[in-house]
Amino acid sequence: MFQWCCCSQDRGGRFPEKTTMSQVSSFVSFDRAAQNVTYIGDVEGDWNNFCNYVDHSRGLTFGMNEEQHESRRLPEHLELRLEDGWHFVFGGDAWDKGLGTLRVLDTMVRAKKHWPSRVHLLFGNRDLNRMGWIGELADRDVDTTPVKGLDLWGEHPDVNAAVDGEFECRRYELAQLQNVEVEEITDEDVRESYADCLKQGGYFSEYLERSQIAILLGDNLFVDGQVVALESMPGVDEDEERMRSWLEDLNDWARCKAAEQSLITSWDPAPSPPPPGERLSSTDDAEQGQYTVFISKSAHCSKLGLDTEARHSDVHLTIKNIHASGLIATWNSRHGSGAVKAGDKLISANGVSGMANNFKSVVTTGKHLNLLLQRAEYAK
């Protein structure tokens, strides 16, 4: 059985001088006997999407139940349970766009420590590009790959640019994890969080140390952000020993590169806050008129201060009126072009979307809110 889902980002420094036998044995490159695999990739820091995937996975669950996934902030809330006989493959691209990068990395590392031979953390194509490995990987692999029909190691130079909104996403997540107001997290707190990720034992460093490039489980190859059923691919070398050797060579090379990467102590480009009033959205979102609002309820102010309406079949809430006081009015006073306007559509709240009633309760009960909206003139 093969189940997959593809969703659409304190602890890091040196590797140990010597690699222990326990570390070596924790990397599996080739297991033709594996039958049950649950897979997800391209999470990119979207904690709610990852939690929704776990909710629907047959082989993976959280060890503790929580009504609201955004409430998962304590270590015991991040522990996964992997069913006997199952493998979990995380296809990479874990961070940098969503509101849960730290929790995603922490959860993956915890799972790998618990089930080192059945949890497999891979580098995705975006990871390989951002770390500058992709060109070297393509050059060295051109004559050795036994899967000639695959388009591997594609270069995407644009991924090296800072991700729009990433800095504010980190601020928001720190507020959630510390259970404080977003306004209490300073720019320096956010910068320090990024620096801590690279230090010995940091989130990114721990994840980097335990990741690999590729694995073959059963008849399925997981590599470069792709999942490939070998029997459906022309040009695949049927020599199992050659396939095993290729995979082990890739993963050995990756461990050497990871050791080099662990010596890096600063981010390039360095994370920085957006200019005041600049709305946070990706290029694709901006082209669709979408923008993001981050707000945090407090004892002093817990009301959004707006009126909405929705027909039964609507997949959004329409903003009808914005009150003179409330969290949205406060947001508007600080974000010129990113201000919420009457007529705009509320598309999702904390990653929850679908029928309007599905996420209306999130807006009502959530303390920290990440709201995705769309300008009225772009809405259909």
CB atoms within 10 A of CB 37: 23
Non-local (6+) Cβ contacts of 34 within 8 A are 87, 217, 218
- Check: CB of residue 105 under 8 Å from CB of residue 203: yes
Min mean pLDDT across 8-12, 38-42, 322-326, 351-355 is at 8-12
Mean local confidence (pLDDT), 116-123: 95
pLDDT tens by residue, 240-280:
888 899 899 999 999 898 888 877 777 766 677 765 544 44
For the purposes of burial, counting CB atoms within 10 Å of the CB of 289, is it exposed (0-12), middle (13-18) or buried (19 or more)? middle
- Check: CB of residue 173 under 8 Å from CB of residue 189: no
Scanning the structure block, which residue is given the tokens 């309820």? 297
User: Which of 265, 260, 266 lies closest to 15 in space, CA to CA?
Assistant: 260
Tokens, residue 142: 């051109």
The pTM for the full model equals 0.73
Q: What is the pLDDT of residue 278?
A: 45
Tokens, residue 74: 């304590």
User: Which of 33, 30, 73 lies closest to 51 in space, CA to CA?
Assistant: 73
**Max intra-chain CA distance, the chain:** 71
Band of residue 337 on the pLDDT scale cut at 50, 70, 90: confident
Model confidence at 78: pLDDT above 70 = yes
User: Which of 213, 324, 321 lies closest to 258 in space, CA to CA?
Assistant: 213
pLDDT tens by residue, 190-201:
999 999 998 889
Q: What is the pLDDT of residue 29?
A: 92
User: Which of 344, 263, 348, 330 lies closest to 48 in space, CA to CA?
Assistant: 348
Mean local confidence (pLDDT), 37-59: 91
CB atoms within 10 A of CB 15: 19
Q: What is the pLDDT of residue 35?
A: 92
> In angstroms, how far is the first alpha carbon of the chain from the final one?
40
Band of residue 48 on the pLDDT scale cut at 50, 70, 90: confident
